[in-house]
């Protein structure tokens, strides 16, 4: 469920007409619904309420300060994978003791910053990282609370680019090497080994991969405890899928019941890292039609948004529903057309041909389920400005990131002195 619905023949974001935002802000832009963010967080929280659960919103899904702040005020902790994300979480009001620092390649500066900030836990993904973190923590006189991320070699049955739990993926410590990693961590100074972490991928549409991975981890916890390790935390990552098209992913309650049945008896504090599940359906991308082009093979609706703004269709062949901001009349004729951007790439498309009602230059289109991995993955390819982000709450809205103009971008570039001299 989301809060982007037709009313009075127009698409609304909560109680605000999307057309009004477009007229005020210009297109293209992202729009986020406060009510949807809050609802999705609460539904997940209710689903795992039977556990000693900490819900760490995965900041990588959407790192806008307004989004993080909205969730922090709902009680969310944060999962971060860079120093920049940690800083964003802190500025948004997430307490350091509610931040889990994950990531396969942390710099020494990031490790030191996380330790100085006093984060709740650092998830370690390799033996060299264990030794590096030990050295940095010891030099700072700080004990680092860590979990070791394990790779269970479980197929998440998702897109290959977002699968993270197979043996060939770069993430986590290989299953056979896990006992040795815990033995090493117990010997190294400056490390306080508190837990086990696992994350097998994103946009997972069935419970079975989770069940397999969590079952292996439950057995591992018991084995590690028998070896004398005090395992108090269990970080189960995120990855539960959402409907983009006609998918029917498990509900949060079904997921929560499964987790409880598999690991509920371990007596661990359980961390979850949902990102897409909370932010995905809470956002839309709004773009304006520039030209309707009748080509030999198909009809193209060329819009002012492009793959640099929303790369998921190009990068993952991802499907996003596309609707008109003006509600089509019942029984309105539909035409097959492909919605594409103006970038000089054939891959600059928002999907294979779709059946859309009659549209004309100037019409507004809404690309749905764009709240996760949309604005955060945007680029300035073709020297295109980064688009605004807008947040709606009831009948009010605010621009929560201004449009980054070409002048703004060029202000950070420098022509070297020898080129200036050559021009004189």
The span from the CA of 181 to the CA of 393, in Å, is: 47
Q: Which of 56, 268, 344, 366 is catalytic?
A: 344
Angle in degrees, CA 237, 81, 65, rounded to 5: 100
Query: Alpha-carbon distance 93 to 234, whole Å?
Result: 24
Please tell me whether residue 317 adopts helix, strand or coil conformation: coil
Q: Three-state DSSP class for 309?
A: coil
- DSSP one-letter code for 15: T
**C-alpha gyration radius of the chain:** 23
Beta strand spans in 205-282 (E):
233-235, 269-272
> Helices 207-226 and 178-187: crossing angle, nearest 10°?
50
> Which of 311, 376, 305 is CA-nearest to residue 67?
376
Q: Respond yes or no on whether the N-terminal peptide bond of residue 28 is cis (omega within 30° of 0).
A: yes
> Does the annotation mark 31 as catalytic?
no
Give me 369's structure tokens: 């389920």
Beta bridge partners of 234: 196, 270
Catalogue the active-site residues.
344
């Amino acid at each position: 469920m989301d809060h982007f619905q037709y009313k009075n023949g127009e698409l609304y974001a909560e109680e605000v007409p999307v057309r009004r935002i477009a007229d005020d802000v210009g297109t293209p832009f992202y729009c986020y619904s406060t009510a949807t963010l809050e609802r999705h967080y609460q539904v997940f929280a209710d689903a795992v309420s039977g556990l000693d659960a900490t819900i760490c919103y995965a900041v990588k899904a959407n790192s806008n300060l307004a989004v993080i702040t909205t969730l922090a005020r709902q009680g969310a902790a944060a999962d971060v994978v860079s120093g920049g994300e940690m800083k964003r979480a802190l500025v948004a009001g997430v307490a350091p003791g509610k931040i889990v620092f994950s990531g396969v390649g942390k710099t020494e500066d990031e490790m030191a910053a996380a330790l100085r900030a006093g984060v709740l836990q650092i998830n370690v993904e390799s033996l060299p990282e264990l030794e590096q973190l030990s050295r940095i923590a010891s030099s700072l006189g700080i004990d680092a609370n860590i979990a070791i991320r394990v790779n269970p070699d479980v197929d998440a049955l998702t897109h290959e680019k977002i699968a993270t739990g197979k043996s060939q993926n770069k993430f986590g410590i290989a299953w056979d090497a896990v006992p040795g990693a815990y033995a090493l961590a117990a010997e190294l100074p400056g490390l306080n080994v508190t837990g086990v972490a696992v994350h097998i991928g994103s946009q997972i549409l069935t419970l079975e991969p989770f069940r397999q991975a969590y079952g292996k981890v439950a057995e591992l916890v018991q084995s590690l405890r028998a070896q004398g390790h005090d395992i108090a935390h269990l970080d189960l990552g995120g990855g539960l899928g959402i409907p983009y098209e006609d998918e029917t992913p498990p509900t949060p309650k079904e997921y929560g019941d499964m987790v409880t049945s598999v690991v509920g008896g371990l007596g661990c504090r359980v961390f979850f890292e949902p990102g897409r599940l909370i932010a995905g359906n809470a956002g839309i991308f709004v773009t304006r039609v520039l030209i309707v082009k009748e080509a030999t093979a198909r009809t193209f609706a060329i819009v002012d948004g492009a793959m640099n703004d929303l790369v998921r269709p190009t990068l993952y062949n991802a499907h996003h529903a596309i609707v008109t901001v003006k509600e089509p009349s019942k029984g309105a004729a539909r035409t097959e057309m492909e919605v594409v951007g103006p970038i000089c790439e054939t891959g600059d498309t928002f999907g294979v041909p779709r059946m859309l009602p009659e549209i004309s230059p100037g019409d507004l289109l809404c690309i749905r389920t764009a709240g996760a991995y949309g604005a955060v993955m945007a680029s300035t390819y073709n020297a295109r400005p980064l688009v605004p982000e807008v947040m709606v709450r009831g009948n009010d809205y605010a621009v929560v990131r201004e449009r980054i103009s070409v002048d703004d971008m060029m202000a950070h570039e420098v022509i070297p002195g020898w080129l200036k001299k050559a021009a004189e």
